Amino acid sequence: MNAQTNDIRGSKETRSDTACDYPGSSFRAAIWVKRVSLVVIVLGMLLLVRILPTGNAIQAVVGWVEQLGVFAPFAFVGTYLVVTVFMLPAWPLSVAAGALFGLFAGTAAVATGATLGMAATFLIGRYLARPAVERKFRQYPRFTAIDRAVGEGGWKIVALLRLSPAVPFNLQNYLYGLTAIRLWPCILASAVAILPGTFMYVYLGYAGHAGLSAVSAAQSERGMGQWALLVIGLLATIVVTIYVTKLARRAIQEQTQVDAPSVLPDTKPDTESRAPMNPWLGAGAAATAAVVVIVAVGCAQFRSSLLARFFGPPTVSMNEAYAAKVEGPHFDHAPFDGILRKYVNDKGGVDYAGLRANPEPLREYVASLAGAPFAELGRDEKLALLINAYNSFTLELIVDWPDKDIRSIQDIPSDKRWDDKRWKIGGNVWSLNQIEHDQIRPNFREPNVHWALVCAAVGCPPLRAEAYTSAHIEDQLEDQARIVHTNGSRWFQFETEARLLRLTSLYKWYGSDFKQVAGDVLDYAARYSPELAKVIKAGQRPNIEWLDYDWALNSQENLN
């Protein structure tokens, strides 16, 4: 590339900036479109985080990485190295590192992976694929300015270029392999210079995960304080990073006459005949991304089932919202109790054929729930009513579905399944998801409800052959928990010698609920497994794997 440097210097002085090839008004309009689009994208992403249960998605990823144990950081660094070598966008990994490993360990993991990736691409560019890389960059004569600058300024110019967005990060990795700079000065300067940007991206992931943890910890006052500190720290990090970037860009322009527009790859080797860069290309891309985000926000707000399935159930802060009432109204669940005793066996299997042949008692009970004095009921009465309502509504959903040979509740379209707002309780009209996620989980600090709500699947805990009542609900929920952790291997498997615990996916999906009460999923499960509790007490915490969730219908034929 040095041989071409002098050929470019003369023409560089007389060439105008590409932006100047377009009318000033058009260029300014494109800039404003880009800026507004970026604001829309940022605000839209914040709304998506607020609307969608992203906390569960993050927790699922964190849980998967935690299963790798001591190998997790090595796997992350290796992945980052591969992404860097293949010139793929690495910033999502940087953001994820903050959620996975924390602020400082995440920064160290990203910096290590990026540094190893830079070293690998430098060596590839210099020794393994030099002819191919050199032919690639020879098509873009303006990169010769970088060659000249690095030759004159060495590691200082490398550091400035790493701090400045003048040259894309991934292109720099291969470009330096073609210059005269040595490996170690280049890599050390790069490793130090990428820290501000690395820290900012890691902080984004750390702030998001820490904020969600604060919410799921059910500590509202402390959570608000944590959010404030995190936001202030994030803003300060972004401001400092932008300031450092501007200083680096100014220094690059002063020392090398290289600025951001001038190092974009030319479309043709002939610099005199090249087409001017259209400022509306970037503006159009930003506007398109903004429209996509707006559509996603609309779907999340008005058709949540289209996106929520990728994130799992929402994270909530569990609280006890209702007082116990010894005196007060009650609701009679005896009709539902009779239905369950007749059509549910001791394994939780449902005789759906029998229910379809005689559906009137179930329909009458479901209809009676609309007149329940929900607002006047005490804590235990409300909880028993909501659990029985959820289970009876689910039974009626299956029984009334036109396809009598239905094999899974998932065969029912999503808008007619858990998100269908059609079920009446005490003057309210809710969907099954609203009953679970809006009425039960946030208002009762009781994770054992997950063993009581049965969504007509084999993977669910067994449907009890009796209705829940306010007088016995605590004992009934405890008994459900014992069944899940001791009977059969559908929900709980513990290999003591291998120190391997396999748990129902309910623990994964609703991990934050169990953590709010016990601090950890393992500690909650140990409440119902003396063997597991003994191992944990000895300081030997087992690894967790998640059991596959069987969505087959919980019929007596499938649960024999």
1 assigned to some structural domain:
no
Which residues partner with 503 through β-bridges?
Answer: 492, 546
CA distance 361 to 335: 7
154, pLDDT greater than 80: no
445 assigned to some structural domain:
yes
CA dihedral sign, ordered 31, 33, 39, 45 = negative
Comparing 276-290, 316-330, 384-398, 488-502, the range with the smallest average pLDDT is 276-290
Q: Same structural domain for residues 221 and 331?
A: no
pLDDT digits (tens, 9 = 90+) for 477-518: 999 999 999 976 889 999 988 889 999 989 988 988 999 999
pLDDT digits (tens, 9 = 90+) for 133-146: 666 666 655 555 66
- Band (pLDDT 50/70/90 cuts) for residue 59 is low
Q: Same structural domain for residues 342 and 223?
A: no
Q: Read off the amino acid at residue 147.
A: D
443, pLDDT greater than 90: yes
Q: Which of 290, 310, 304 is nearest to 44 (CA)?
A: 290
3-state secondary structure of 259: coil
Tell me which of 338 and 8 has the higher pLDDT: 338
- Band (pLDDT 50/70/90 cuts) for residue 240 is low
Instruction: Please give the DSSP secondary-structure letter assigned to residue 546.
Output: E
Tokens of 503: 């748990």
Instruction: Please give the DSSP secondary-structure letter assigned to residue 511.
Output: H
307 assigned to some structural domain:
no
Comparing 8-12, 451-455, 522-526, the range with the smallest average pLDDT is 8-12
Q: Same structural domain for residues 227 and 339?
A: no
pLDDT attached to residue 402: 92
Alpha helices (runs of H) in 309-408, residue ranges in sequence order: 334-343, 352-357, 360-368, 379-399
Choose the final residue of a domain: 208, 230, 256. Answer: 256
pLDDT digits (tens, 9 = 90+) for 177-197: 777 788 888 899 888 888 887
- Band (pLDDT 50/70/90 cuts) for residue 560 is confident
- Band (pLDDT 50/70/90 cuts) for residue 60 is low
Instruction: Please give the DSSP secondary-structure letter assigned to residue 409.
Output: G
Q: Which of 217, 214, 244 is nearest to 229 (CA)?
A: 214
pLDDT attached to residue 217: 40
pLDDT digits (tens, 9 = 90+) for 307-338: 555 556 777 889 999 998 878 889 999 999 99
pLDDT attached to residue 173: 75
Tell me which of 393 and 183 has the higher pLDDT: 393
Torsion from C-alpha of 216, 217, 219, 221, nearest 10 degrees? -60
Instruction: Please give the DSSP secondary-structure letter assigned to residue 422.
Output: -
CA distance 80 to 73: 10
Region 74-97: what's the mean pLDDT? 82
CA distance 26 to 278: 10
CA distance 69 to 87: 28
Give the DSSP H or E segment for 493.
strand 492-495
Q: Same structural domain for residues 348 and 467?
A: yes
Q: Same structural domain for residues 333 and 244?
A: no
Comparing 49-63, 76-90, 291-305, the range with the smallest average pLDDT is 49-63
Q: Same structural domain for residues 221 and 326?
A: no
pLDDT attached to residue 274: 42
Structural domains of the chain, count:
2
44 assigned to some structural domain:
no
Q: Same structural domain for residues 328 and 409?
A: yes
309 assigned to some structural domain:
no
pLDDT attached to residue 209: 63
4 assigned to some structural domain:
no
pLDDT attached to residue 262: 40
- Band (pLDDT 50/70/90 cuts) for residue 260 is very low
**Strand order, beta sheet including 492-495:** 492-495, 500-503, 543-546
CA distance 453 to 513: 15
Region 121-132: what's the mean pLDDT? 77
pLDDT digits (tens, 9 = 90+) for 340-381: 999 999 999 999 999 999 999 999 999 999 999 999 999 999
Tokens of 54: 């992203």
Choose the final residue of a domain: 207, 241, 256. Answer: 256
CA distances to 431, 432, 555 from 416, rounded to whole Å, are: 10, 10, 20
Q: Read off the amino acid at residue 201.
A: Y
Domain span at residue 131 reads: 53-256
- Band (pLDDT 50/70/90 cuts) for residue 176 is confident
The half-sphere exposure of 73 on its side-chain side, counting CA atoms within 13 A, is: 13
pLDDT attached to residue 452: 97
Q: Same structural domain for residues 233 and 343?
A: no
Choose the final residue of a domain: 230, 256, 282. Answer: 256
CA dihedral sign, ordered 280, 282, 288, 290 = negative
Tokens of 539: 């300081």
21, pLDDT greater than 60: no
Tell me which of 506 and 231 has the higher pLDDT: 506
- Band (pLDDT 50/70/90 cuts) for residue 29 is confident
pLDDT attached to residue 35: 74
Tell me which of 79 and 469 has the higher pLDDT: 469
Tell me which of 415 and 495 has the higher pLDDT: 495
What is the average pLDDT score of the chain? 78
106, pLDDT greater than 80: yes
245 assigned to some structural domain:
yes
Asked if 553 and 409 count as a contact pair (C-beta separation under 8 A), the reply is yes
Q: Same structural domain for residues 126 and 245?
A: yes
Share of the chain above pLDDT 90, in %: 37
Comparing 274-278, 392-396, 421-425, the range with the smallest average pLDDT is 274-278
433 assigned to some structural domain:
yes
Question: From the centroid of its chain, how far is CA 526?
Answer: 28
CA distance 179 to 186: 10
